[in-house]
C-alpha cells in the first residue's frame, strides 16, 4: 500500500525538495536524526521490512565509515584524543564525521523513497507539461529498453543452442549486432504505427492521469509552511574548534518541531490510511 504516492506530482516533488534541502544544507544533527527516522519509517512502509532491515545495517556501516575517516583528513578541533604522525585526531572531527555520515545516509534514504514514489509516470508528467515530444521519447525508451534486453537474451540463447560452440565474447558480439538489426526493423514498424495513428499532426496534447485537487493544494501549503518554519530558528551548529549547541529559544524549538512533523508526514500518512483500512474492514 502506498497512499502517499497518490498525491499530485507537484506536491510530491516539492515535499522531497524541502526535506532534501534541509537534510543536506542544515548540517544539524537533530534535523538529521528526525530526517533519518522519518525517512526510514516511510521507507519501511512502502517497501518490505526485510529489505529495510538489511539497508539499515548498510547505513550504520556507512555512518561508521565516514565517522572513522573524517578525523584522518581533518585535524581541527580542541579536544585531542591522540596524535598520528604529529597530526591530532580530535573529538570534534569525529562528531563532524558522524554528522556527515548521517547526512549522506539520510539523503540516500530520501532519494530511495523518492525513487519508489516518483515512478516514470510522474517524471513523464513533469516532462510532458513543457516538452511533450521529449516525454514521448522518454516513454518510448522505457518501452524499448526491456524489449531490447529480452530480444538480446533470446538471440543469445538461440546462438548458444544452435550447435556451433563459440567463445562467449564472440557470441555476445554476434548477438549484439543481430539485436541492433532486429530492433531497427522493429523501429520501422513502430514508426509506421505512429504515423498511422496521426503522430506528427500539429497541436499534440499530453494526457496524464493526475488531477491537482484541493487535497494536494492543502498538503502542498502545509509542506511550505512547515518548511519555512524550519528555517526561522538559528539552528546552525558549530563544530570547530569546540562543539557548540545553539541555545534553545522558542524560535529554535519551533523549527525543530516543524521539521519533525515535516519528516514524519509520509509515514503518518501511511499509518493513518492503514488504520482507516483496518477500521473499515472491521466494520464490514
Partner 1 sequence: MEIFNIKNLSFTYNTSDKKAINAINMTVSSGDFLLVIGQSGCGKTTLLKMLKKELTPFGKKEGEIFYKGKNIESLNERESAQSIGFIMQDPDSQIVTDKVYSELAFGLENLGYDKEVIRAKVSEFASCFGFLESFDSSVNKLSGGEKQMLNLASVMAVNPEVIILDEPTSMLDPISANEFLSTLKRINNDFGTTVIISEHHLQEVFHLADRVVCLENGEITALDTPKNVCKSLKGKKIMKTLPVPARVFNSVKAYGECPITVKEGRKMLSSIALNSNKISLNELKSGDIILSCKNIWFRYERKSKDILKNCSFNVNRGEFYALLGENGCGKSTLLNIINGSLKPYRGKIKCNLKSAYLPQNPKNVFVKDTLEQDLKMVNNSFIELSEQFGLSAFLKTHPYDLSGGELQRASICKILLSNPDILLLDEPTKGLDTFAKINLGNFLKQLCKKGLTIIMVTHDVEFSAEFSDRCGLLFDGGITSENSVKNFFSQNIFYTTSASKMSKGMIENAVTADDIIRCING
Partner 2 sequence: MKRLIFFPLVLILIFSGCSIKSPDDYYNKIENGELTATVSINCGTAVDYEDSKREKAEILSDCKVNFKDGDTVYDALKNACKKNKIQFEYSGNGDSIYIEGIDYLYEFDCGELSGWKYSVNGIFPNKGCNVYKLKDGDEVDWLYTCDLGEDIGDKYEGE
Contact footprint for partner 2 (CB under 8 A): 75-78, 80-88, 240-241
Strands 87-90 and 80-84: antiparallel
* Least Cβ distance, residue 8 to partner 2 (angstroms): 44
Selected from 23, 28, 55, 175, the binder of partner 1 by CB under 8 A is 175
Helix (H) or strand (E) holding 198: none
Helix axes 214-232, 250-283, angle to 10 degrees: 150
Selected from 14, 111, 126, 206, the binder of partner 1 by CB under 8 A is 206
Q: 124 and 138 in contact (C-beta within 8 Å)? A: yes
d(CA 177, CA 200): 30
* Least Cβ distance, residue 53 to partner 2 (angstroms): 21
* Least Cβ distance, residue 181 to partner 1 (angstroms): 7
Helix axes 91-117, 9-25, angle to 10 degrees: 170
d(CA 264, CA 35): 8
Q: Report the 10 Å Cβ neighbour count for 214.
A: 7
Binding mask 125-144 vs partner 1 (x if CB under 8 A, - otherwise)?
-------x---x--xx-xx-
Residue whose CB is less far from partner 1, 206 or 240:
206
* Least Cβ distance, residue 50 to partner 1 (angstroms): 13
Restricted to residues 11-40, the positions that interact with partner 1 (CB under 8 A) are none
Residue whose CB is less far from partner 2, 91 or 268:
91
Stretch that binds partner 1, among 17-25, 28-36, 105-113, 207-215 (CB under 8 A): 207-215
DSSP annotation string for 248-260 = --HHHHHHHHHHH
* Least Cβ distance, residue 178 to partner 1 (angstroms): 4
Between the CA atoms of 29, 34, 40 and 46, what dihedral angle is there, to the nearest 10 degrees? -150
Q: Which residues bind partner 1 (CB under 8 A)?
A: 120-121, 124, 132, 136, 139-140, 142-143, 146-147, 150-151, 154-155, 157-164, 174-175, 177-178, 181-182, 185-187, 189-190, 192-209
Amino acid at each position: 500500500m502506498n497512499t502517499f504516492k497518490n498525491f499530485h506530482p507537484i506536491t510530491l516533488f516539492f515535499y522531497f525538495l524541502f526535506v532534501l534541502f534541509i537534510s543536506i544544507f542544515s548540517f544539524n544533527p537533530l534535523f538529521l536524526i528526525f530526517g533519518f527516522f522519518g525517512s526510514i519509517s516511510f521507507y519501511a512502509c512502502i517497501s518490505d521490512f526485510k529489505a529495510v532491515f538489511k539497508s539499515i545495517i548498510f547505513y550504520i556501516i556507512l555512518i561508521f565509515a565516514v565517522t572513522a575517516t573524517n578525523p584522518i583528513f581533518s585535524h581541527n578541533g580542541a579536544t585531542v584524543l591522540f596524535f598520528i604522525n604529529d597530526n591530532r585526531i580530535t573529538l570534534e572531527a569525529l562528531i563532524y564525521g558522524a554528522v556527515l555520515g548521517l547526512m549522506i545516509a539520510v539523503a540516500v534514504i530520501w532519494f530511495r523513497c523518492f525513487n519508489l514514489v516518483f515512478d516514470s509516470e510522474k517524471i513523464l508528467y513533469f516532462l510532458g507539461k513543457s516538452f511533450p515530444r521529449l516525454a514521448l521519447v522518454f516513454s518510448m525508451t522505457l518501452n524499448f529498453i526491456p524489449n531490447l534486453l529480452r530480444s538480446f537474451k533470446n538471440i543469445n540463447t538461440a546462438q548458444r543452442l544452435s550447435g556451433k560452440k563459440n567463445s562467449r565474447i564472440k557470441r555476445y558480439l554476434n548477438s549484439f549486432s543481430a539485436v541492433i538489426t532486429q530492433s531497427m526493423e522493429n523501429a520501422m514498424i513502430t514508426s509506421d504505427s505512429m504515423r498511422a495513428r496521426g503522430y506528427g499532426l500539429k497541436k499534440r496534447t499530453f494526457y496524464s492521469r493526475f488531477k491537482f485537487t484541493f487535497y494536494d493544494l492543502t498538503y502542498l501549503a502545509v509542506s511550505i509552511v512547515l518548511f519555512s518554519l524550519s528555517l526561522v530558528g538559528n539552528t546552525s551548529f558549530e563544530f570547530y574548534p569546540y562543539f557548540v549547541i545553539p541555545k534553545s529559544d522558542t524560535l529554535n524549538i519551533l523549527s525543530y518541531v516543524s521539521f519533525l512533523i515535516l519528516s514524519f508526514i509520509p509515514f503518518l500518512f501511511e499509518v493513518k490510511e492503514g488504520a482507516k483500512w483496518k477500521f473499515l474492514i472491521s466494520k464490514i
